[in-house]
Amino acid sequence: MVLLRSHLPTLLVLLLSSIFSFSNSASIEENFIQCLSFYSDKAPPFSSSIVTPKNDSFTNVLDSSAQNLRLLVPSAPKPEFIFTPLNESHVQVAVICSKKLGIHMRVRSGGHDYEGLSYVSEIETPFIIIDLAKLRAVEVDIQDSSAWVQAGATVGEAYYRISEKSPVHGFPAGLCTSLGIGGHIVGGAYGSMMRKYGLGADNVLDAKIVDANGRLLDREAMGEDVFWAIRGGGGGSFGIVLSWKLNLVPVPETVTVFTVSKTLEQDATKIVQRWQEVAPNIDEELFMRVIIQPASTANKTERTISTSYNALFLGDADTLLQVMQQKFPELGLTKNDCLETSWIKSVLYIAGFPKDTPPEVLLQGKSTFKNYFKAKSDFVRDPIPETGLEGLWQRLLEEDSPLMIWNPYGGMMNSFSDSDSPFPHRNGTLYKIQYLTLWQDGDKNATKHIEWIRKLYNYMTPYVSKFPREAYVNYRDLDLGMNKKNSTSYIQATAWGNMYFKDNFNRLVKIKTKFDPENVFRHEQSIPPLPVSRLKDRKCNKWG
């Protein structure tokens, strides 16, 4: 067992920090290893947990969980090294040593950050990556309807372990099963049961976080303000979340899934317009998203628009058919379209795995989506008229490989106020739009595709939320604004902060100022602390 000296009283930890000094002639890696060894007793050789660009395995480790290939091109900044902690105390000493050494750190749990902020630093060098890939334990307590899940585990691993213990328990988080649960929940964590149970962040009971001083804190120790902030306030601003205690929710033994596609030639425009009115208001047991993209026409000489209605219903097919016949007959859903299955197999279906894929595939934790891409997001509060949809289709047909996903809100999401968590996109939201453009030729034509999605985003301005135009923090978009090198400006950060968090941004700033006043945890869109001159009384900082 590792005996971490930072478990000693805080004053003694600070004293030890002042005693230890680094060698000016040693490399950053050598100093880091020396510091780790100083703070840990009976630890394994830390050199085996560190990979540098000199190691043959460096590229494989760096690329292992990174989803957006756009951020892995040769020109993208690379870390000095990647440190993979084997236990919680290793994360604590890594924070202490990074701070002592003055080296910038990025933290990666699942690698799904759309702008690569967990493994690329555009604004500060040198930097290191703390990769939580080895911290992926899942401990399920069915009697308590809860589970402790470490940050490096994927949501798919958590789902599998829950279903392994009970076929009638689940958790309302992401549709993509390779999401790292650490970074997923800090952004809110929506999924196919959100209309029934809310977000993943709404169903967290406790958490463990390492703060800027290397202390390991649970909910009671961190306080309710910080616990509020890490459930939707975005990753990389307050500390390193090591694990979540999840509140498991009931799921029926039999659920139903379906996918029905309609093209423009099959009246897709009118059906989509009707979906906008139906999907947010239909029974909360039904989550019915729309996946929109160009497709070949029957003669394969031209392209049309395909709209695929991809759904999970928490009940049997007969009940679903009754609901759809009453509320959305325009789709023409039939019994043959429906597949009755278990909740865990519905996870595989919604995630796009081939039919008959065994649930054990979820334990591999591998992403099925690795592309060069750029993404954006919007929230819609009023239905888009047919003329707006027709203009949208026209623009989608101009791009090589665009994709849009519309996720319905309503149901339980309307029961939360905007301030219940930092995630403010609640009552009154009809649906969320995710825009994507994908390509395969590296950074050769990246500019063309990025310019296209920016123009599409501008076109959508009249049809989406306003004052502010809202965006989803887990679909990071650096077009909205960035912190500058070594400078996190409150004024500049409000540009994107208000879009992600609305009025909750100011509360997040106040919590950041108290909990991490030195801005140890920072990145291109991290929450800024107020400058020291604006603090009324630093001595009153209850976190010391």
Active site residues: 475
Report d(CA 537, CA 436) in Å as an integer. Answer: 46
Cα 318 off chain centre by: 35
Please report, as a single letter, which amino acid is at residue 203.
N
Tokens of 539: 């001595």
Tokens of 499: 């879009």
Report d(CA 216, CA 512) in Å as an integer. Answer: 17
Contacts for 273 with CB less than 8 Å, ≥ 6 apart: 383, 384, 385, 386, 389
DSSP 384-422: PPHHHHHHHHHHHTTSSSEEEEEEE--GGGGGS-TTSSS
Query: Is residue 138 a contact partner of residue 153, using CB atoms and an 8 Å limit?
Result: yes
- With left for phi above 0 and alpha for psi between -120 and 50, is residue 338 left, alpha or beta? beta
Using H for helix, E for strand and C for coil, what is the string for 63-126? HCCCCEHHHCCCCCCCCCCEECCCCHHHHHHHHHHHHHHCCEEEEECCCCCCCCCCCCCCCCCC
Query: Is residue 47 a contact partner of residue 33, using CB atoms and an 8 Å limit?
Result: yes
Please report, as a single letter, which amino acid is at residue 166.
S
**Continuous H helices in 153-193:** 155-165, 181-186
Please report, as a single letter, which amino acid is at residue 507.
R
Tokens of 536: 């009324």
Tokens of 23: 């060698």
